[in-house]
Amino acid sequence: MKYKHLLTPLKVGNKIIKNRMSYPNASPHFLQGPEDYPAEGYRAFVSNLARNGAAIIDLAEWDNPDQRKGPMDMDMTHMQSFDMTNPAVHNYQAQLAEEVHFFDSKVFVSMQEKMPAGYSMDGGRFPMGPNGKPTEILPTERVKEAVDLCVEACRTYKLLGFDGLTVRVDNELIKKPNPRTDMYSGDSIENRTRFTHEWFAAVKKAFGGDFLIKAVIAWEQPDGYGPFTRPGGGYTEKEAEEFIELFDDVVDILEIRESDVCKSHPTGYTMKEDVHPAVDFAAKMKAKGVKMLMAPIGGFQSPDEMEKILAEGKCDMFVLARGFMADYDLGDKIKKGLGEDVVPCIKCNKCHGTILPEHEPWISVCSVNPLMGKSGKIHRMTANLTHEPKKVAVIGGGPTGMRAALYAAGLGHDVTIFEKTDSLGGQLFHSDYFSFKWPVKNYKNWLIREVQKNDKIKILLNTEPSPSDIEKGGFEAVLAATGAKASLPKSIEGIADENGNAKEGVYTCLDAIPKEKELGKDIVICGGSEVGMETAMFLCENGHNVTVLTRQNELGHNCSKLHYITMAWIKITDDGRAVESPAWEKYENLKGIVSVTTKKVDGNTVYYEDADGNEHKITADNVLICGGMKPLTDEALSYAASTPEFYAIGDCNGAGNLQICNEHAYSRAMLI
């Protein structure tokens, strides 16, 4: 058994937890429609998590139907918001629990405190935020009523088959203005969390080990952190420890996040590979003899890494959200000891929703798992597809070509990848250079490893077949993944010759990356898209001074607005507040000039115009052009008549990102 510790069950209270991996409160945003009950897509997603190895699954509760009717700035357009006041809804909740139990897993409800109507503990708004309804402060003598309501809510869930309760308590740990003056307020952790302790103690008294309690904290929060806090807010590691001591009698499992909202959704930028401060904190608590089980969360997926940490006794279990989403065969691969075959999550947070100004509402999908969120419908969609083994040519050894080859080989086809360069990986080569792209590098290397070891896939490097080569070669289907190339916009004078090739000294961002060492100190990048900004950050990290010119009114305009939880960092402002700030603001040697149009490049000088039509110029050692990508569609279509079946996939068919590339790879392979 390669992953013995990871697969060893645990007895917690009166429940057996089947292994050491659980799933947090992390529901993809698009699975639920307007239904007041868990929709089929949502139920299928949840039961698939259980099948995929999640021993405990937290389900969002949000039992306030009003929440969904509000504007976009709250979660109501996408979040589950089940009407638990309607007994018919209970049926579907019970079915959900039954589906999870079928796979020997447990289901917890992720609950907020219950209050008598119109009241809250601190007189804030419910649900939180400016659009919530104002509430009154619950009088001290009525707090018991609130505790009873919380216990009754747990009783309902327990009757429906739920196994426990999850509560995020770090909101209480954070110091924030509180108008109360009784023992439920004040600076001490004991007072701040007194209500929650009374609630948990009452649940324990009512249900004992039959209904478990999981608390979620971060191991510390920066001073002044959070929308409602000000300097002097946040909480320290010592306060987190104090909380643990106070709650050790009532909490069964402690989910421990990293220290702030950016790091609690870790990316290649906010997290270093193999570095997990939450594990160190868990180990420290275990060494102190704490009883509650320590379950760190944030960036875990590698079975080898989790196994090692458990074997060292540093924690008791792990909580994984994106790890389960990125690979729907994670559980099976762990059972078979095939850790290196797990599809690496690239930590892009697309599953958390991509909300772009021109792209509403929230769509949450997975960049590397085209099946993510399709559990409820994929069987219907593919029911009539049959797969006779065929000879398949894949043109292009980039990420789309390799993934399509893997899917086609998995369906029994005999696959040949033709790659015109001397290496596999296509545009993902940049991940070998950017320090913060290590998750993408892991994904690229996983693709290369998987195609190389697959005996149904033949790889021909330095080979660009003609359409007649394909026809003569007896291929029966082509998956053309010819990709895209960086373009040089015609609107900028002086960058390209009459054939459209870059003039001497002009680089596209992609061309410049491997030549970084040859570039001078001062660099201008024309174009401030995500690619431009990431290239700028890479150059800054390597000691260059970079100025980015963009005609948009902000840098990184096409970054997901969830950038704030993908590559943001916590900046402490002059007045002591902790503000989530875009990655590029960290670099003192990076300057952005917005709302300007690059007109001309002459040698090392860039001429640009501001919004008022005033002309400016800037001189640098090198000028980089970041002007988007041109799909190599004609190259792909040239193969269209060479086999009875032809599909253009990936960037040559307008994909533009890994998620759509992988959708193409999976679905077109399924069509063969």
Ligand X SMILES: Cc1cc2nc3c(=O)[nH]c(=O)nc-3n(C[C@H](O)[C@H](O)[C@H](O)COP(=O)(O)O)c2cc1C
Residue 345: which of 407, 267, 453, 255 has the closest Cα? 267
Q: Which residues contact 612 (CB under 8 A, 6 or more apart)?
A: none
Asked whether position 348 contacts ligand SF4 by CB under 6 A, the answer is: yes
Asked whether position 322 contacts ligand SF4 by CB under 6 A, the answer is: yes
Residue 392, strand partner residues:
415, 477
Smallest distance from the beta carbon of 503 to ligand SF4, in angstroms? 38
Asked whether position 271 contacts ligand SF4 by CB under 6 A, the answer is: no
Task: Considering the complex, state which of residue 296 and residue 373 has its C-beta at the smaller distance from ligand SF4.
Answer: 373
Q: Which of 26, 137, 293, 345 binds ligand SF4 (CB under 6 A)?
A: 345
Smallest distance from the beta carbon of 420 to ligand X, in angstroms? 37
Tokens, residue 576: 């002591």
Asked whether position 349 contacts ligand SF4 by CB under 6 A, the answer is: yes
Angle between helices 40-51 and 87-102 (to 10 degrees): 30
- Kindly indicate which of the ranges 57-65, 211-219, 361-369, 519-527 contains the residues binding ligand SF4, using the contact rule CB under 6 A: 361-369
Asked whether position 298 contacts ligand X by CB under 6 A, the answer is: yes
**CA torsion angle for 20, 265, 525, 357 (degrees, to 10)?**
130
Smallest distance from the beta carbon of 325 to ligand X, in angstroms? 7
Task: Considering the complex, state which of residue 192 and residue 257 has its C-beta at the smaller distance from ligand X.
Answer: 257
Q: Which of 19, 21, 24, 508 binds ligand X (CB under 6 A)?
A: 24
Asked whether position 257 contacts ligand X by CB under 6 A, the answer is: yes
Task: Give the total of residues touching ligand X (CB under 6 A).
Answer: 22
Task: Considering the complex, state which of residue 75 and residue 419 has its C-beta at the smaller distance from ligand X.
Answer: 75
Q: Is the dihedral of CA 79, 362, 350, 378 positive or negative?
A: positive
Asked whether position 175 contacts ligand X by CB under 6 A, the answer is: no
CA angle 274, 276, 280 (to 5 degrees): 125
Residue type at 215 in one-letter notation = A
Q: How far apart are CA 54 and CA 105, in angstroms?
A: 7
Q: How far apart are CA 536 and CA 584, in angstroms?
A: 8
Smallest distance from the beta carbon of 328 to ligand SF4, in angstroms? 11
Task: Considering the complex, state which of residue 26 and residue 531 has its C-beta at the smaller distance from ligand X.
Answer: 26
Asked whether position 348 contacts ligand X by CB under 6 A, the answer is: no
Asked whether position 326 contacts ligand SF4 by CB under 6 A, the answer is: yes
DSSP string, 63-131: --GGGGGS-TTSGGGTS----TTSHHHHHHHHHHHHHHHHTT-EEEEE-PPP-STTEESSS-EESSSTT
Q: Which residues contact 418 (CB under 8 A, 6 or more apart)?
A: 393, 394, 395, 396, 397, 460, 463, 464, 465
Q: Which of 346, 417, 539, 568 binds ligand SF4 (CB under 6 A)?
A: 346
Q: How far apart are CA 269 and CA 62, in angstroms?
A: 31
Strand arrangement, sheet containing 545-549: 506-508, 622-625, 522-526, 545-549, 590-593
Task: Considering the complex, state which of residue 68 and residue 322 has its C-beta at the smaller distance from ligand SF4.
Answer: 322
Smallest distance from the beta carbon of 62 to ligand X, in angstroms? 9
Q: Which of 52, 77, 105, 364 binds ligand X (CB under 6 A)?
A: 364
Q: Which of 194, 204, 314, 350 binds ligand SF4 (CB under 6 A)?
A: 350
Give the CA diameter of the chain.
86
Contact 269, 580 (CB under 8 A): no
Asked whether position 263 contacts ligand X by CB under 6 A, the answer is: no
Q: How far apart are CA 580 and CA 578, in angstroms?
A: 7
Smallest distance from the beta carbon of 117 to ligand SF4, in angstroms? 38
Smallest distance from the beta carbon of 276 to ligand X, in angstroms? 10
What residues between 135 and 154 interact with ligand X by CB under 6 A? none
- Kindly indicate which of the ranges 334-342, 343-351, 419-427, 649-657 contains the residues binding ligand SF4, using the contact rule CB under 6 A: 343-351
484-486 and 629-631 beta bridge pairing: antiparallel
Q: Which residue has the tokens 């946040």?
A: 234
What residues between 364 and 383 interact with ligand SF4 by CB under 6 A? 366-369
Among ligand SF4, ligand X, none, partner that 350 touches (CB below 5 to 8 angstroms by kind): ligand SF4
Task: Considering the complex, state which of residue 346 and residue 606 has its C-beta at the smaller distance from ligand SF4.
Answer: 346
Task: Give the total of residues touching ligand SF4 (CB under 6 A).
Answer: 14
Q: How far apart are CA 351 and CA 583, in angstroms?
A: 20
Smallest distance from the beta carbon of 271 to ligand X, in angstroms? 9
Asked whether position 25 contacts ligand X by CB under 6 A, the answer is: yes
Which residues contact ligand X (rule: CB under 6 A)? 24-28, 60, 168, 257, 264-266, 297-300, 320-323, 351-352, 364
Which residues contact ligand SF4 (rule: CB under 6 A)? 322, 325-326, 345-351, 366-369
